[in-house]
Structure 1
């Protein structure tokens, strides 16, 4: 064998061994523009620094609670890290399906030495939850389909006379029930008091009944942007970052309706029951992916506010378009004049019962 062939064989052998020794981390998230922002801000730079780590993306976050319950029941947890909304983190923590963490122990301090728990502040809503972003669920509408009368109020969803056409709403009660009660005359600060009663739940469903025939129900965050782009709906709800991508990056004739946008938190949980060596690998990734700079980096790709206070001053321009990102954040003063604050504890307590009622209503 020639020297060149010998060297080539050696390189192939090393590559094969390296590949065989690579550790897979299965990270569960939401897909679409959001997962892409995580890939660019977190996954790619982490794998570049740690060539022995291979991150596998799973887009099952919408089903995270049910799937983690099933994995736990089977004694076979195959996920390493899961991106969930705050209310789901509370449920998973309460059920013992997510690992409690000492935030100051496992997360990086701010650049000035401030402890992680102080840097994240009140956004740490559970001992199992590691905040990542502040986002909102809001509504986008086709600007070319509303003439000279663009909607300014969330109740345009229910106004099929002024705005005829299909709407898209998420196939779950969260946000839909709150908006229904708001548009049925319930004051904002009384919505959850009403919604915890059977009469209040029926009242919300009765309001949704008025547009039920005009609704296309979605399950994935990418659905509404696609339906809007295709002109299949005149308006629809989704996450503000998905609409940002549609409007700014894809230049579609769509505008954002910020009224009664529902603020929410999204972040990480570590599934309970992982072997120690897998926990160690996950914590190493988390230390990197949740530091001040990395959370600010994600905001270069999608219009979600970073959860660390120290990250906010570092939010600059879109990495590819060069536009300032701050005006596109849900927390921008021009966008947050009338927000609706999501109640994590309410949905952690009532989610299963109201889910069952909502799904039964869908098919009746």
Structure 2
């Protein structure tokens, strides 16, 4: 997955306007320091800074209520909605971290640290192996359903239908299919084209979802205009994620961690309710990304192309980032997340692959 496609934290709630209008269902997103409220009865934004979030003492049963500066309210009710709200608030509000731990007491803090250490050991040593075992039991239809549900969610919030000319899409689809055929590694995949709904996020990007769906944005095609070899390499990177089932492996590993946390703290409800948010924000590991880079390099080589074509992506992304900074626009969806190997490392590996192809060992 290219950096910068992580969806913002969202939650479902009811919106009660200050004028007494009946409650309306809305979707609430936290993005760039703003709380975005979207629904048939409301479409507004409120600064996150200064909001008075419901704390533990103010909660009544399953009721969660956030009062906005103008007197309007956001409300969640019911066990499932309140648990989802709590998981969401822990990500975007101030009612988490050291403040929450202070109220929980020193004993809870020590227990949490011990649990974190155990989870880290389990993650580093046993989680990948366990996830592979579970993954072998996952039906392909379930994997496809997860991918479809994820794309539907992104279509509702971040993505819009592509405006690329149909002929251009067909040309790119034919080239990808021919490249895979020449590589001798057939693969079931579904290439989808989208654009950023707001014109900025996720911007130039491509990403793979469980079940074989690969999404390419119009902005990426435009960024790599005149460099179709680089675009083929990027799509080959995502096809590497598909071949290795990285998306479903991420879901499986995160699910195992979620269940382990529930067993340690004895609170399955809130943990499981927050799992969709955690999964939506998951990022591929560095090992996954290296495997996908290797797949892109192999696809280019099999088609008589130099892996150096991939460097065009880094060059144009860097130039675009510089333009964004000069325009004074914050780049909240930057191209360097911690989960990805540093750009310098990836560039060095690509250059080494190109050099080894040019000078094979005797």
Q: Which category of TM-score, normalised to the shorter sequence, fits these structures? A: under 0.3
Determine which structure has greater relative contact order: mean sequence separation of CA pairs < 8 Å that are 6+ residues apart, divided by chain length.
1
Q: TM-score, normalised by structure 2?
A: 0.24
- TM-score (normalizing by structure 1): 0.24
